[in-house]
Structure 1
Amino acid sequence: MTIALWVVAGLLAVTFLAAGLMKITQPRPKLVAAGMGYAEDFSAGAMKGIGALEVLGAIGLILPAVLDTATILVPLAATGLFLVMVGAVVVHIRRTESFAAPLVLAVLALFVAVLRFSTYPF
């Protein structure tokens, strides 16, 4: 199960790092044009903030475990990413868009958070 947790955490980290960096580096109109229609509902600063949370969450999923320092940050980062994805699901439902991707990411983040908090801590 530890290997599964590492694989899921790694996939989540890559996904959130890529998505977060895109939100931080691209202007809002370019994000909308790239298919992120929900960016119309948020200010440019809010999009940058969401991107920063995703990047920090991605770093928090891997770095503390690799360095074996403050490993409690791994389930805390997973919990934070879960909450971000719950917000994303709500936004997509309100916009009557598909919410499958953020829902899957939320479930995977919850999987990491629950197991790292309880059954498989470092």
Structure 2
Amino acid sequence: MDLALWIAAGLLALVALTGGITKTFVPKEKLAVHEGARWTRDASAGFVRTLGVLELLAAVGLILPAVLGIAPVMVAVTAACWVLLMVGAMVTHGRLGQYRLVLLNVAYLALAAFVAWGRFAAVPFTA
């Protein structure tokens, strides 16, 4: 179970890192031309960049606290926050009729819920 939770957290961290780098460092105008980032057309550049920074922090929060043994409960907290972020993403993509992306967000949500549950209850890190 511990290995499965590490793998799930690692996959989520990779997703968060990729999305965070893209939203933080790629200009909004370049993002807006891609169908999956169509939502950025109506969002401010600051909002897009803020989401990117939050995703970068999530990538760190899903791995680093456990690796360093400093406040490892933050892994579960970060995963729970990722669940909330995915709910927002599902609503946003759903409003745009991007149902394939909604399904992808559901998968990320399920992975994050698994990590949150696993690290809060099933196999918590001991501090």
TM-score, reference length from structure 2: 0.92
Q: Aligned partners of 1:79, 1:58: CA distance in 2, in Å?
A: 13
> Residue 41 of structure 1 aligns with which residue?
42
Q: Tell me which residue corresponds to 1:55.
A: 56
Identity %: 43
The reply to whether residue 119 of structure 1 matches residue 122 of structure 2 is: yes
The offset of 1:85, in angstroms, is 0.8
Q: Take 1:52 and 1:103, find their aligned partners in 2: how far apart are those partners? A: 22
Deviation at 1:22, TM superposition (A): 0.6
For residue 86 of structure 1, what is the amino acid of its counterpart?
V
Partners in 2 of 1:81 and 1:74 — Cα distance?
11
The within-5 A match list for 1:56-75 is 56-75=57-76
Shift of 1:38: 1.1
Aligned residue number for residue 109 of structure 1:
112
RMSD over equivalenced CA pairs, Å: 0.9
Moved over 4 A (4+): none
Amino acid at match of 1:8: A
Task: Give the whole-Å Cα distance in 2 for the aligned partners of 1:81 and 1:41.
Answer: 23
Partners of 1:89 and 1:113 lie apart in 2 by 19
CA distance in 1, matches of 2:57, 2:69: 17
* Structure 1: runs of 5+ lacking an equivalent: none
Aligned partners of 1:38, 1:68: CA distance in 2, in Å? Answer: 38
Q: Deviations over 1:72-108 (max 9, x none)?
A: 1100110111111110000011111121111111111
- The residue identity in structure 2 corresponding to 1:11 is L
- Structure 2: which 5+ residue stretches go unaligned? none
TM-score (norm 1): 0.96
Deviations 1:14-46 (A, max 9, x none): 111011111000111101123311111211111
Q: Distance in 2 between matches of 1:39 and 1:32?
A: 5
1:95 aligns with 2:96: yes
Between 1 and 2, higher relative CO (CA 8 Å, sep ≥ 6) is seen in 2
